[in-house]
């Protein structure tokens, strides 16, 4: 916003401000007459953005905030959108926004919404109108440049904007058609006027190696270059580090210690040691890289890490939180090298009960680095399998497995939940193209590390709580009971029993019963969408999914800034100091780290999908096995089995028939043919269309199914988060109640 607009907003923020006409505003701000036209334009722009209001008496006044709901706006490809309210008292879920009521809001913007129509039934959406934009998510976007009618345009990636954005004269900034470019918005588009932008960076021709990665980095505004001063400070730490100097640390270099990490890991945060005494008690030591030793608080290096908040792990690139001289060198717990650590020592009974915990600044020397594949081969050895690993390390590894499984069982016994939603992992060839894709493995070697890291995180959080020290907690708030009721109704449609959805044990049972079954993905994903997101906060709210009262992130300070802060707090306590940090500053830091974490996750998912869709683009017409993961009136959501990527079979592509969604079972049924499409069905599908830029995959059935028999006990039900988009330009019609109403099911006519 220009300077005049900012001055007007500051004026209205003054406690003695009263609505006044534009001339009075100009006098109050001492704006000369020659700038009155510019002031008038600035005020109109503010009013258009909803930041101010102009009354009937022509006075300039702050916007009326009464009765407004503030939330994050997400726009769909067809122009309408939804706002997810920030206020916890808004129990109705997301608010539907028609295209004409969205103003110039873009996906991710924080907006203020006026409710225009209340939902009549549970499961329906309130309807609203965007009154103003509170905060813009970003000001720059990435898209594809093209020329038309002697003018340059950019079609922004994804579904943020439906129409191309004009960028002025052809060839601006040297752009050529089919270039991926970064634009900065001058004017956001709305339903009444086009947008306007300028090109600020040319990334390269679409399809060239690395351009897709750079496009995602720019789209999410990921900082990928370190300040020279931060790099100099990291190099200075490397020059000063002496492996032989362990003064002031507990020397554990002779203690048998191992790491277990992915084969492709480059930095190693954690190492573990274990022994067992004559009483059968387990003595577990979790050693975590002492990153705080190399990153002084308040330094330029620290500010760089804080701004990034987290490392970002893209398929073909890692954007580290810290320069590689620290993340891959000084702090990384490499085998055969002395490294500084913070160690958590925990004693467990043979039944897995924690009886003692203590902490120390330490120095270790890792004896052996295991990959997950190597570890599981020793934990569950094949007959007559030979190993060159020292027998004492093999024995320790198997004892670790024994303790981890005991801790895991105890965790579930207290009500912890575990969703089976593995991430998609892709392998790239030297050219950066997809060579293979699969779902991530979570075998007992992964679970071993997970249980020990959870135990260390809980031990540290408990100790800091007992000491009265504030720190960034990792919390998972309790879910909204209404959403759990919604989920319970959903799973009952599958024939599953869930009478008390507020019970973790009941939820746990449903998750266990569906694991390995066709409806597993939909049920587990449905519960995920019914839960709140985990976040960082200084408030002791507990962790719902882990069933833990005190929890924090301590075990990954190389890649997460909250862990680094926790290290500083525990180190100060160990040295007899009182850690000082203002609670409001810590709260702001926690909010920042939550945002950067979610940004990194979104960027990682986005690039994986781009890579997968790019791989499938030349395979249009090819057939794959698929599993139906969601059923809606407008189509069938499917995941390819051979290649784990999600797509949609639109109802319009199904065999010619009248299709309706059966309300109770959410089964899509052909009235004439009797064909049924149900959750968990495994049809063969063909790829019909791939739009990489808009992140869309359209599928069609390879062979129309015969009339299906009546559904069995396990009916097909779409996950409760999937909402039917309206058919434009007809105004949004609320969804019918999930409860049987005695009315005839609604028909869906296939468009020919």
Superfamily of domain 615-749: Nucleic acid-binding proteins (2.40.50.140)
pLDDT of residue 2: 52
The contacts of residue 673 (CB under 8 Å, 6+ apart) are 655, 657, 704, 707
Q: Decide if pLDDT at 602 tops 80.
A: yes
Compute the residue count for the chain: 752
Give the separation between CA 448 and CA 416, rounded to whole angstroms.
16
Q: Cβ-count burial of 401 within 10 angstroms (0-12 exposed, 13-18 middle, 19+ buried)? A: buried
Separation of first and last alpha carbons in the chain? 48
Q: Among 2, 13, 131, 95, which residue's Cα sits nearest to residue 61? A: 13
Confidence of residue 407 (pLDDT cuts 50, 70, 90): very high
Residue 708 has pLDDT above 50, yes or no: no
Mean pLDDT in residue range 512-525 = 88
Instruction: Establish how many alpha carbons lie within 13 A of residue 199's alpha carbon, considering only the half-sphere containing its beta carbon.
Output: 26
Query: Cα–Cα–Cα angle for 709, 712, 714, nearest 5°?
Result: 135
Reported as a single tens digit per residue, the pLDDT across 179-189 is 999 999 888 88
Beta-sheet strands, E only, within 138-289: 140-148, 151-156, 165-168, 179-187, 196-205, 250-251, 258-261, 270-276, 282-289
Average pLDDT over residues 297-312: 96
Q: Where is 112: in which H helix or E strand?
A: strand 110-117
Please give the pLDDT value at position 721: 39
Q: Is the pLDDT of residue 743 over 70?
A: no
Alpha-carbon distances of 495 from 492, 635, 637, 665, rounded to whole Å: 5, 23, 21, 10
Query: Is the confidence at residue 609, as pLDDT, over 90?
Result: yes
The CA distance from 291 to 559, in Å, is 10
Token pair, residue 201, equals 């960076």
Q: How far apart are CA 616 and CA 720, in angstroms?
A: 29
Pairwise CA distance, residues 562 & 292, whole Å: 11
> What is the DSSP code (8-state) at residue 354?
E
Q: Give the pLDDT band of residue 57 (cuts 50, 70, 90).
A: confident
Q: Are 668 and 701 in contact (CB under 8 A)?
A: no
Question: Which parts of 270-336 fold into alpha helices (H)?
Answer: 300-308, 324
Taking alpha carbons only, the member of 559, 555, 556, 498 closest to residue 530 is 498
Name the average pLDDT for the chain: 87
The predicted pLDDT at position 65 comes to 66
* Fold equal for 3-61 and 68-135: no
- Using DSSP's 3-state secondary structure scheme, residue 122 falls into coil
pTM: 0.81
Instruction: Give the domain 3-61 fold.
Output: Arc Repressor Mutant, subunit A (1.10.10)
- CA dist., res. 205 & res. 571, Å (int): 50
Q: Nearest 5°: phi and psi at 694?
A: -100, 5
| pLDDT exceeds 50 at position 742 | no
pLDDT in tens, 115-159: 888 877 655 788 998 888 888 877 789 999 999 988 999 999 988
Q: 726: pLDDT confidence band, cut at 50, 70 and 90?
A: very low
pLDDT, tens digit (0-9, with 9 covering 90-100), for 633-669: 888 999 898 888 999 999 999 988 888 887 666 679 9
Residue 663 pLDDT: 62
Mean pLDDT of 249-259: 97
Taking the mean position of all CA atoms in its chain, how far away is CA 725? Answer: 23
Q: Is the pLDDT of residue 281 over 50?
A: yes
Q: 657 or 734: which carries more pLDDT confidence?
A: 657
Instruction: Say yes or no to pLDDT of 261 above 50.
Output: yes
Q: What gap in Å lies between CA 70 and CA 86, rounded to an integer?
A: 6
> What pairs with residue 632 in β-bridges?
635
| Residue matched to tokens 């407004």 | 68
Partnered with residue 636 across adjacent β-strands are: 631, 649
Query: Domain spans of the chain?
Result: 3-61, 68-135, 140-206, 228-466+558-573, 615-749
Strands (E), 296-353: 312-314, 317-319, 338-348
pLDDT at residue 504 in the model = 93
**pLDDT tens-place string over residues 451-494:** 999 999 999 999 999 999 999 999 999 998 988 998 898 888 88
Do residues 707 and 674 make contact, with C-beta atoms less than 8 angstroms apart? yes
Q: What is the mean pLDDT of residues 667-692?
A: 89
Gyration radius (Cα) of the chain, Å: 29
Percent of the chain at pLDDT > 90 equals 54
Report the pLDDT value the prediction gives residue 90, as an integer from 0 to 100.
54
How far apart CA 532 and CA 417 sit, in angstroms, is 13
Q: Which residues contact 426 (CB under 8 A, 6 or more apart)?
A: 315, 434, 435, 436, 437, 608, 611, 612
Instruction: Specify which of 90-99, 177-186, 189-198, 451-460 reaches the highest per-range mean pLDDT.
Output: 451-460
- Position 451 scores a pLDDT of 97
Q: What is the pLDDT of residue 664?
A: 62
DSSP 588-650: HHHHHHHHHHHHHHHHHHHHHHHHHHHHHGGGTT-EEEEEEEEEETTEEEEEESSS--EEEEE
Closest CA to 170 of 179, 158, 161: 179
The residue that leads in pLDDT, 410 or 429, is: 410
**pLDDT exceeds 80 at position 77:** no
The predicted structure's pLDDT at residue 749: 41
Helix (H/G/I), strand (E/B), else coil: 132: strand
Interhelix angle 372-379/444-466, rounded to 10 degrees, is 100
Tokens of 370: 């295991």
Residue 551 above 70 pLDDT?
yes
Question: In the prediction, which pLDDT does 285 show?
Answer: 98
∠ Cα 159 162 166 (to 5°)? 115
Task: Assign 703 a pLDDT band (cuts: 50, 70, 90).
Answer: low
Q: What pLDDT shows up at residue 119?
A: 79
Per-residue pLDDT at 75 = 82
CATH number for 140-206 (one of 3.40.720.10, 1.10.760.10, 3.40.630.10, 2.40.50.690): it is 2.40.50.690
Task: State the CATH architecture for 68-135.
Answer: Beta Barrel (2.40)
Tokens of 125: 């959406």
- C-alpha–C-alpha distance, residues 242 and 555, integer Å: 24
pLDDT at residue 286 above 70?
Answer: yes
């Amino acid at each position: 916003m220009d300077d005049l607009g900012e001055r007007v907003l500051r004026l209205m923020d003054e406690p003695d401000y009263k609505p006044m006409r534009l001339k009075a505003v100009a006098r109050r701000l001492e704006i000369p007459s020659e700038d009155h036209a510019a002031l008038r334009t600035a005020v109109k722009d503010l009013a258009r953005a909803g930041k101010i209001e102009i009354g009937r008496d022509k006075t300039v006044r702050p916007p009326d905030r009464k009765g407004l709901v503030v939330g994050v706006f997400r726009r769909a490809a067809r122009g309408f959108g939804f706002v997810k309210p920030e206020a916890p008292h808004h129990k109705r879920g997301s608010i539907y926004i028609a295209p004409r009521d969205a103003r110039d809001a873009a996906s991710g913007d924080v907006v203020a919404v006026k409710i225009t129509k209340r939902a009549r039934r549970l499961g329906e959406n309130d309807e609203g109108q965007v009154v103003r934009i509170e905060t813009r998510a970003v000001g720059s976007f990435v898209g594809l440049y093209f020329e038309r009618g002697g003018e340059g345009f950019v079609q922004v990636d994804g579904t943020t904007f439906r129409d191309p954005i004009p960028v002025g004269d052809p060839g601006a900034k040297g752009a050529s058609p089919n270039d991926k470019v970064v634009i900065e918005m001058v004017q956001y588009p709305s339903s009444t006027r086009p947008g306007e932008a300028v090109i600020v960076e040319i990334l390269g021709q679409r399809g060239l190696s690395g351009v897709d990665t750079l496009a995602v980095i720019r789209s999410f505004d990921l900082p990928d270059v370190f300040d020279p001063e931060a790099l100099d400070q990291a190099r200075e730490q490397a020059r000063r580090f002496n492996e032989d100097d362990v003064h002031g640390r507990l020397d554990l270099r002779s203690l048998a210690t191992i790491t277990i990490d992915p084969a492709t890991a480059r930095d190693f945060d954690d190492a573990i040691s274990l022994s067992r005494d004559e009483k059968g008690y387990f003595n577990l030591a979790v050693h975590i890289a002492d990153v705080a030793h190399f990153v002084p608080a308040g330094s330029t290096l620290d500010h760089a890490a804080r701004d990034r908040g987290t490392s970002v792990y893209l398929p073909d690139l890692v954007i580290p939180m810290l320069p590689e001289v620290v993340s891959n060198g000084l702090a990384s717990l490499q085998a055969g090298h002395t490294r500084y650590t913070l160690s958590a020592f925990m004693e467990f009974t043979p039944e897995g009960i924690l009886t003692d915990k203590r902490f120390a600044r330490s120095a270790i020397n890792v004896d052996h680095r295991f990959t997950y594949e190597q570890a599981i081969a020793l934990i569950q050895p094949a007959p007559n399998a030979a190993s060159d690993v020292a027998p004492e390390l093999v024995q320790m590894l198997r004892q670790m497995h024994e303790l981890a499984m005991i801790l895991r069982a105890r965790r579930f016994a207290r009500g912890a939940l575990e969703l089976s939603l593995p991430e998609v992992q892709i392998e790239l060839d030297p050219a950066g193209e997809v060579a293979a894709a699969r779902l991530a493995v979570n075998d007992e070697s992964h679970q071993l590390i997970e249980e020990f890291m959870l135990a260390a995180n809980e031990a540290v959080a408990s100790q800091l709580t007992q000491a009265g020290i504030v720190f960034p907690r990792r919390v998972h708030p309790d879910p909204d009971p209404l959403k759990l009721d919604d989920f319970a109704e959903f799973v009952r449609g599958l024939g599953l029993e869930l009478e008390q959805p507020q019970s973790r044990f009941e939820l746990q049972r449903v998750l266990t019963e569906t694991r390995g079954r066709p409806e597993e993905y939909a049920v587990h994903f449905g519960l995920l969408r019914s839960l709140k997101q985990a976040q960082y906060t200084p408030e002791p709210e507990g962790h719902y999914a882990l069933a833990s009262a005190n929890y924090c992130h301590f075990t990954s300070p190389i890649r997460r800034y909250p862990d680094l802060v926790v290290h500083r707090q525990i180190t100060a306590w160990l040295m007899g100091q009182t850690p000082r940090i203002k609670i409001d500053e810590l709260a702001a830091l926690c909010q920042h780290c939550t945002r950067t974490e979610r940004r990194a996750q979104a960027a990682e998912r986005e690039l994986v999908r781009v890579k997968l869709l790019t791989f499938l683009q030349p395979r249009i017409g090819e057939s794959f096995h698929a599993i139906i993961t969601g059923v809606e009136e407008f189509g069938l959501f499917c995941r390819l089995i051979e290649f784990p990527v999600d797509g949609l079979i639109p109802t319009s592509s199904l065999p010619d028939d009248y299709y309706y969604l059966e309300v109770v079972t959410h089964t899509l049924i052909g009235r004439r043919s009797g064909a049924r499409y149900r959750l968990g069905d495994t049809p063969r599908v063909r790829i019909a269309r791939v739009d990489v830029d808009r992140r869309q995959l359209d599928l069609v059935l390879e062979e129309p199914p015969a009339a299906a028999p009546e559904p069995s006990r396990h009916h097909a039900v779409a996950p409760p988060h999937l909402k039917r988009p309206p058919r434009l330009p007809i105004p949004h019609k609320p969804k019918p109640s999930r409860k049987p109403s005695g009315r005839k099911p609604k028909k869906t006519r296939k468009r020919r």
